[in-house]
Structure 1
Amino acid sequence: MSLTLLDWRRLVAELYARVRAADDPEEGWRAWGAGRDALFVGHPDSPLDEAGRARGGLPLAPYDPALRFRARLDTDVEPARLQLPTADDGVVAMDRIGRVTLGDLGRLDVWWLGGYGGGVFLPVRDASAGTTTSGGGRYLLDTIKGADLGGDASSLVVDLNFAYHPSCTYDPRWSCPLAQEGNRLDSVVAAGEQLPPGGWY
């Protein structure tokens, strides 16, 4: 680990703070996309290799305001715990803390990632997985890493336009928690980060 990784995490946290502060969600999304492009192309801790950086940024689908939800966290769920082995972080525990309903798209399990302090984790795998998006799914929220769109004591802002790929999508040396059965949607979500033609590797 190095201070460049600290800088990466600080910049990500600042980027999401700007998103939460934006008066217009689409304006926040544009800032998010531009900020991620700058990080992935220019930061020393980018998961992209030189060929990936040369592409000039991350493909994003157009913004769709219908895919933004303020979703109440339904905590009336059976407890569930997952133990996920990773290459660098050992075994990471995930506890299901509830579910959110995203209109007619369906429901997604919300997880609490273990470790110091912990945080909310919300992955999603929709019917685009394996074609225009990663086969393992994408992430919507990962508050340990600063990916937090807001909410209050009983709800979360869940905006599918902010769906992004985990690091293992760009480089096989990374290992990432993938979307479980309760984090899958039957519909194609044509929003958020997309794969470039041929994928990243």
Structure 2
Amino acid sequence: MSLFRGLQFLITVNDLKMLPNEGIEVAFAGRSNAGKSSAINTLANHTRLAFVSKTPGRTQHINYFDFGGERRLVDLPGYGYAEVPASVRAHWEKLLGQYLVERENLIGLVLIMDARRPLTERDWRMLEWFRPTGKPVHCLLTKADKLTNQEKIKTLRDVQAEFAGDPQITVQLFSSLKKQGVEETEKVVGRWFDAHRLPLGQEDGATDGE
């Protein structure tokens, strides 16, 4: 079974104090209309695992999904949608900033960006928060099916050029509609988890004294 196919919903939280203490996790973040929920659903081959709202910015909580083996996917609140009240935006930014900088369980960030409008001001802000941690970032340029082949090549090269010489950040094209890029995403996230695999006998919280 592929990495994402067994993904199951675990918990929803709206306060960092409520985050699970155990396990390691990969976070998915992106603008509210960048196709983040659709990407998660496509990777999991599940049409309604992550809720896709017709009103971008509706999801205001941190949603946890479980891969099994103390591995988690964290669906962070979408950001950057103009019609969200200022108080809600402020709450999201504080929540996201603290989570990205302080969360020790977090091993990597998948940054979702619309391939037609990548690297917006708020995307750069996310990277500014996260890059100092030294943890890897994988950028998914979603909705690639809406570009011509020439536009795809140019967009991918342009974004890759922004991070040239930075091994912390990788970039790929992705399309939920065409299911393009699923295997590549699985390989990247799988490597992150493999690099943080718990020692034999500790996967389920066991210790040498048990």
| TM-score, length basis structure 1 | 0.27
Q: Which has the higher helix share?
A: 2
| TM-score, length basis structure 2 | 0.26
